[in-house]
Amino acid sequence: MKAHFTIELENILQRIRIQGTRVAEAIESALSSFREGDTERAEEVIRADKFIDQEEIRIEEECLKLLALYQPVATDLRTLISVLKINTSLERMADFGCHMAERSLHTANLPQPPPDAIFDFAPMQKTVLSMIHDTLTVISRSDVDLAYSVIARDNTVDAMRREHRARAKTALHQHPDHADYFLECHGLARDLERAADLSTDICEHIIYMRTARIIRHQEEP
């Protein structure tokens, strides 16, 4: 029984890794579509989100089946609980990628503001994507040290989001004719922040899975 459980659990973990890669690719494509005004790529991200949603349900069903069939305890139970939460977080992260793609479709049809008023998301994008890719490594290797590193970067993203918000407020006053563009930029910064938050959540789940420590709402060591 234990051998069968281990094999099935590893299969689920592999599906989680693949799902994570899909989600990261969706967010990267959505950001590229926003930057380049590529509506075709944005539409691909939105279409792909349906498959991610379906896979999230299938993975959840497999986890519940293992819980019912094997009634795991201790480490095995902790792992399954963590996988269920990670699965949900990945699906929610993909939703924010979808939001970014929808913003791309909207901004592609808007007149561009003056060059000095165009938002530069490169630093925030670089930080968030590094968090997401490192989170995939954390999932793959159960790397607790790297998980803490990802969590530590979340404060940087929060600060960047506040900067974008302040800039959007100023730009709205200076260039009211481009209000829709600035509102979408503010929304994109919020989507990026939420993707970073979900990376943090996933890393916290991995730490719990490996160490049985619950670190939510606590200062990192």
Cβ partners under 8 Å of residue 50, min gap 6: none
Does pLDDT of 220 surpass 60? no
How much is the pTM? 0.93
CA–CA distance, 26 with 1 (Å, rounded to integer):
38
Taken in order 41, 42, 43, 44, the sign of the CA dihedral is: positive
Band (pLDDT 50/70/90 cuts) for residue 216 is confident
Band (pLDDT 50/70/90 cuts) for residue 200 is very high
Q: Return the pLDDT at 2.
A: 83
CA–CA distance, 45 with 53 (Å, rounded to integer):
12
Q: Return the pLDDT at 22.
A: 97
Q: Which two tokens stand for residue 36?
A: 């380049």
Does pLDDT of 1 surpass 70? no
DSSP codes joined into one string, 123-182: HHHHHHHHHHHHHHHHHHHT-HHHHHHHHHHHHHHHHHHHHHHHHHHHHHHH-GGGHHHH
CA–CA distance, 155 with 170 (Å, rounded to integer):
23
Q: What is the pLDDT of residues 65-122, one digit of tens each?
A: 999 999 999 999 999 999 999 999 999 999 999 999 999 999 998 998 999 999 999 9
Q: Which residue has the tokens 């349906």?
A: 50
Q: 7: how many CB neighbours lie within 10 A of its CB?
A: 9
Q: Return the pLDDT at 219.
A: 56
What percent of the chain has a predicted confidence (pLDDT) above 70? 97
Lowest mean pLDDT among 19-23, 40-44, 216-220: 216-220
